[in-house]
Amino acid sequence: MALTFKFKKKSHGITWKSGHMYKFSYSPYNQDPTPKILYCYTTEGIHPKTGHQHRYHNGINISYLPRKIRKKFIEDWRKEFSKNKNMKTTLTNLKRKYPYLEEFFRRYNTKPNYYIKNAEEIPPEDWQKEVVKSWHKDFSATIRKKIASKLKKFFTGGKR
């Protein structure tokens, strides 16, 4: 089976739809054990050249956005969402309007099933309450340090 990209996927007790926001518990986390994401699509299948199996949800982790940008992004996205609720959101499409989002794109493994628990959709009317006002969860400083480190290595000729 070749790689497929699904913009609507039923898993973990809910139907994941592209452009919607979700929250869940993620056991193999690096920084954020309970991510809140803007879901883009699910990648499934076996890569035809490498034979590697892909099974993960792709999305933008909103908790990683800096607080100043987070509120504006949620307001902008709510306007986009109200225009078209059946959208096909990809990183390429998002980067056209929001070029800064590439650093916040994450993949969440869907197998084994216990990786993702308590998945639920965040209704659009609760986006501000759930996402913007999560002051205790701000991982933007960590991301900023990673970007600065990459830039420093690039400009000083260090190993990547």
Verdict on whether the full-model pTM lies above 0.85: no
- The pair phi, psi for residue 3, each rounded to 5°, is -65, 135
The whole-angstrom separation of Cα 157 and Cα 140 is 25
- 28-57 pLDDT, tens per residue? 988 889 999 999 999 999 999 999 999 999
Q: Residue 28: give the domain boundaries.
A: 4-156
Give the amino acid at 119.
A
Based on the structure, what is the number of domains in the chain? 1
Q: In 59-139, which ranges are continuous DSSP H helix?
A: 67-83, 91-97, 127
Rounded to an integer, the average pLDDT of 120-140 is: 76
Burial environment of residue 17 by CB neighbours within 10 A (0 to 12, 13 to 18, 19 or more): middle
Q: What is the pLDDT of residue 18?
A: 95
